[in-house]
Amino acid sequence: MNQDIAIALERQDYETAFQLIQALPANDPWGKLYLGQLQEARSEWDEAEYIFRSLLQQDHGPKISQAARQGLKRRQDYEQAIRQDKFERAKSQPGHDQIGALILEALSPDQKGDAAVKFAKVMQVDPYTARLLIPSRGWRVYRIGPMGELAVYGQELQAVGIPSFWISLAQVQALQVHQVCYFETLSPTPQVVISDHHSQQTRLFSFSWSAVQQRVEGLVPIFEEVVDRDPRGKLQRKEKTQDHAQFCDLHLPDQGCILRFYDAAYQFNQGIPLTEVDRETSWANWRGLTTLLTQNIPHAPIYSEFTTFAETAVEQIVLLGEFESYINLLRREDSPWDQAFHLYSSLALLKPQP
């Protein structure tokens, strides 16, 4: 009967093959193998793969094991051919070769088990690694590369229920960022004095509170090189976090710009007073500013998971290429954390809305 099934499959007589397979005992390994091959022939790849893998989990002899492995190899080749076709079609799209970032969004712990298996299959990594890569909170920069390639991977991840999005460096660079010096007026129209990032020239900028769609907050560490002793008492130089700069971005998507506030640049002694007492501490001044913003833009959601994002992003930012951070902190050298904050804020503004 096995030979008859093989002949029916070769002739693409799937109805006869199915009837012959049904006549075999349910636990017959050859019957399972032929059923997997029948499902493969009908392009029921997931069902076929399940059978081939289950056959390999038990010892049914070298012939069945070899046939099951060949079935899995055909599945892999089939998926690779489909992906290659997607890559080729992506290359025909404008901007396909621009460099960008593929971002993974968070999944709850109870979702990650099933998602890790699917992620592993799409990205061809093992499930354990996949589970570590999928964030439980915030965002993760997963891959840097050409936008055409990122779009293919991102669409495949979305298709299996793994939230992700991809943004090009060109989109980030196209955003306007205005460093806010202070509030000149609050009503009837709020006006801020902004500073040009390079020339330091100032001008008035008017906007409406209703135009602010989002708010991004974060602490950017300020590193300094210090001399310390190692466990053996030997002097050594190391980089330590000495302080943090507080940042708050307001997004005005209709104007394609970001208003950037940070404690090291805001002139608390100018413009609208933010506290009742002059010369308050920097912390009190910053609290006064954030309170003012909260009172006027209660509708704007707040993105505040920058630190979680940056802990992985700083490792890959060098791969993204040079881009302006629009941050001027007094330190000996630039820090990738500056670019990480600007990238985080830009992603929040550019992320496609559902």
Query: Mean pLDDT across the stretch 315-332?
Result: 86
Query: Mean pLDDT across the stretch 258-285?
Result: 84
**Domains: count for the chain:** 3
Query: Mean pLDDT across the stretch 105-126?
Result: 91
Query: Are residues 333 and 184 part of one domain?
Result: yes
Instruction: Report which of residues 314 and 51 the model is more confident about.
Output: 314
Bridge partners for 316 per DSSP: none
Query: Are residues 244 and 111 part of one domain?
Result: no
At residue 55 the predicted structure's pLDDT band, cuts being 50, 70 and 90, is confident
Query: Mean pLDDT across the stretch 325-329?
Result: 89
pLDDT at 236 over 80: no
- Across the beta sheet with 139-146, the strand order is 139-146, 99-105, 164-168
**pLDDT at residue 235, rounded to an integer:** 55
What is the C-alpha to C-alpha distance for residues 308 and 344, in angstroms, rounded to an integer? 11
Among the candidates 90, 110, 130, a domain finishes at: 90
What is the C-alpha to C-alpha distance for residues 114 and 54, in angstroms, rounded to an integer? 18
Does 231 sit behind a cis peptide bond, omega within 30 degrees of 0 on the bond before it?
no
- Cβ neighbours of 247 (radius 10 Å): 23
Give the chain's mean pLDDT: 86
Least confident of 60-64, 316-320, 322-326: 60-64
Query: Are residues 200 and 115 part of one domain?
Result: no
**Containing structural domain, residue 152:** 99-171
Among the candidates 38, 64, 90, a domain finishes at: 90
Tokens 């902004």 found at: 194
Query: Mean pLDDT across the stretch 41-68?
Result: 80
Query: Are residues 39 and 139 part of one domain?
Result: no
pLDDT at 90 over 80: no
What angle is formed at CA 328 by the lines to CA 342 and CA 287, rounded to 5 degrees? Answer: 75
pLDDT at 279 over 70: no
Query: Are residues 108 and 41 part of one domain?
Result: no
Query: Mean pLDDT across the stretch 90-99?
Result: 82
What is the C-alpha to C-alpha distance for residues 83 and 153, in angstroms, rounded to an integer? 9
CATH code, domain with 81: 1.25.40
Query: Are residues 74 and 58 part of one domain?
Result: yes
Helices (H), 241-350: 282-296, 306-320, 336-350
Tokens 């893998």 found at: 53
Instruction: Report which of residues 39 and 338 the model is more confident about.
Output: 338
Enclosing H/E stretch for 176:
strand 176-185
At residue 204 the predicted structure's pLDDT band, cuts being 50, 70 and 90, is very high
pLDDT at 250 over 90: yes
Least confident of 49-63, 177-191, 219-233, 335-349: 219-233
CA dihedral 137, 105, 326, 269 (to 10 degrees): -40
pLDDT at 198 over 80: no
pLDDT at 45 over 90: no
Q: How far is CA 93 from the centre of its chain?
A: 22
DSSP secondary structure letters along 111-159: HHHHHHHHHHHHHT--HHHHHHHS-SSSEEEEEEEEHHHHHHHHHHHHH
Q: Is 168 helix (H, G, I), strand (E, B) or coil?
A: strand
Query: Are residues 185 and 154 part of one domain?
Result: no
> 209 Cβ partners below 8 Å, 6+ apart?
190, 296, 297
Q: What are the tens digits of pLDDT across the range 134-176?
A: 999 999 999 999 999 999 999 999 999 999 999 999 999 999 9
Tokens 């002899």 found at: 61
Q: What is the CA radius of gyration of the chain?
A: 29
pLDDT at 293 over 90: yes
What is the C-alpha to C-alpha distance for residues 158 and 151, in angstroms, rounded to an integer? 10
CATH code, domain with 103: 3.30.1390.10
Would you say 34 and 3 are in contact if contact means Cβ atoms under 8 Å apart?
Answer: no
pTM exceeds 0.85: no
